[in-house]
Amino acid sequence: MKTTIEEKNGDLVASFEGRLDTAASVQTAKDIEPLNACNGQDIILDCTLLEYISSSGLRLFLTVLKNVKAKGGKVFVKGLNNELKSVFAMTGFINLFEFKE
């Protein structure tokens, strides 16, 4: 599981590559710390190369969303494949985030 964060056009983009299962989420929680420290910027969670996510990964996304919204920013989720979209639908997360293709 590889996480990279970069700034693009004033937004913070976090790209996730691989399987975000419970084991991987321990490290990913540390890797996404810069997102929780941002100041009102919009965040893009780029999931184009994300193959799998379980509840611990969803929990990380939710924490980012809560932190960013509290600072007046938005969180966009980008590039979810169909299987991941169904996981977001099952958990109601499809209604919590905004999506980009």
Partner 1 sequence: MFNVQCLTLQNDVQQVPQLAQFVDEVCEAAGLDTATAMKLNLAVEEAVVNVMNYAYPPGTVGNVSIKAEVHDNQLEFTITDSGIPFDPTSQQEADTTLSAEERPIGGLGIHLVRTIMDSISYERIDGNNTLRLIKTIKN
Query: Which residues contact partner 1 (rule: CB under 8 A)?
Result: 19, 21-23, 26, 52, 54-56, 58-59, 62-63, 65-66, 69, 82-83, 86-87, 90-92, 95-96
Q: Which of 6, 72 has the CB closer to partner 1?
A: 72
Minimum distance of partner 1 from residue 87's CB (angstroms): 7
Q: Which of 9, 88 has the CB closer to partner 1?
A: 88
Asked if residues 18 and 51 have their Cβ atoms less than 8 Å apart, the reply is yes
Q: Which of 8, 90 has the CB closer to partner 1?
A: 90
Q: How far apart, in whole angstroms, are the C-alpha atoms of residue 42 and residue 25?
A: 22
